[in-house]
Each structure stands twice: as structure tokens, then as C-alpha cells.
Copies of this chain bind each other. A is one copy, B any other.
Amino acid sequence: MTAHRSTPTPAKPTHSKPSQAKQPRADARRSIAAILDAAIACLRDDPSASLGEIAKAAGVGRVTVYSHFSNRAELLQAVLDETMRRSHESLEDVDLSGAPTEALTSLVGASWTIVDEFRAVLHAAQRELPADAVHDAHGQVMERLRGVVERGRSSGDFRTDVPTDWLVTTVVTLVHGAADEVRAGRFGMDEAAGYLTSTVLSALAPRSH
């Protein structure tokens, strides 16, 4: 039984504090990173990819995976955490202070690159992990979107004849659908991005009728 790191987050060995938790060795950190990357890539293609496939894609032995993650479930949890971390990293720089329509456009545009991998991982985790862990993750990421939507409703930029939850769902659904189309090769990425923002704004616009 070697060290099992269920929290691979301490990626910064910046000589911070003399905490008693010793850093794993350099090659171990490299392996973990490779496994996580490979897992995300594999699960994107096949949500039920085997540990063997992931190990091979990562360029490590299958046993090595078990030396870092005792379970498949634990690996999945780590992958979920890592994906969440990347999402936050990508989205925290987005400026949401402008007009709601601007903010929404920015947010959708920034979500664009991460939504497909996030969704694939989420989908893979959803069937093998306790539901609460998944739900926490999802809710946390959607918080910002929800804030923008609520602000737009107050300012009169977005419609109020349907609930906020519905609007949030609409945006997320459209982003997912657009990602699917691009992945299927039916639309180019830039092309779809333009259509998507335009469609989202129309869907959230107040009923002119």
C-alpha cells in the first residue's frame, strides 16, 4: 500500500510551509498528471472507458494507476475534481460586470472550450459516484451563470415570464447541443460560436410579441 493521494491539488511545491505532508516524488506527480489528462481524454470518447485503456493512453502501466488511486471510483472523483478546477480557472477571469447581455455572451464564449470535456466527465461520473458529489460540482459551476441571468431579469434585459431555473437550463442545454454539433463535425467551431450566442440571446430576450 503506497501513498494514496485522493487530493492531487497540491501541484505547487512553492516551498510554502513546512507542513508535515511530504511532497510526492517528481515522477509520481508526472504520472498522476498524465493519468488525469488521459482519463479526461478517454472518457470524452467513451464514458465507460476501462482503466486499462486510460493507463495505456497515459503511457503508464495499469498497476501504476492503482498505486495512486485505490479505486476506479477514486480516480473518477479525482478526474471530476480536476475538471472542476480547470473550469473555475477558465471562468474566473471572465468579466461579468458589464451589461447582462454582454456578460452572458462572454460567459458562453468562455464556457465553450471546456463544456464538452466537463460534460463527458460529469456523465461518466454520474453513473458510478454518489449523487451528492456530482450535484455539488455542477451547482457550484452554474452559480455565476445564474447570477448573470438574475441580474438580466432585474434590469429588463432578459425575460421574466419563465422561471430563472428554466433560463439557466436553456443556456446550458444550448451550449451542450452546440458542443455536440461541433464534435460531430456538422459545424465549424467559430461558426457555431456565433450561432450559439445569437440563439441564446434570442431565447432569453423578453417577449416582444
Binding site for B on A (CB under 8 A): 46, 48, 127, 159, 161-163, 165-166, 169-170, 172-174, 176-177, 180-181, 186-187, 192, 195, 198-199, 202-205, 207-208
Contacts and interface: CB of A to CB of B under 8 A. Distances in A.
9 contacts: A162-B199, A163-B195, A166-B181, A166-B199, A173-B174, A173-B176, A173-B177, A174-B177, A202-B205
Contact of A181 (B169, B176, B204): B169
A169 B177 contact: yes
A192 B165 CA distance: 11
Contacts of A176: 173, 177
Each complex incorporates copies of this chain amounting to 2
Contact of A203 (B48, B127, B162, B203): B203
A205 B159 CA distance: 14
Contact of A202 (B46, B159, B169, B195): B159
A78 B72 CA distance: 34
A174 B163 CA distance: 16
A161 B198 contact: yes
A162 B146 CA distance: 27
Given A48-B48, A202-B205, A203-B202, A170 B162 contact: no
Nearest to A204: B202
A178 to B, nearest CB: 8
A160 to B, nearest CB: 12
A201 to B, nearest CB: 9
A170 B174 contact: yes
Nearest to A170: B199
Contacts of A166: 181, 187, 192, 195, 199
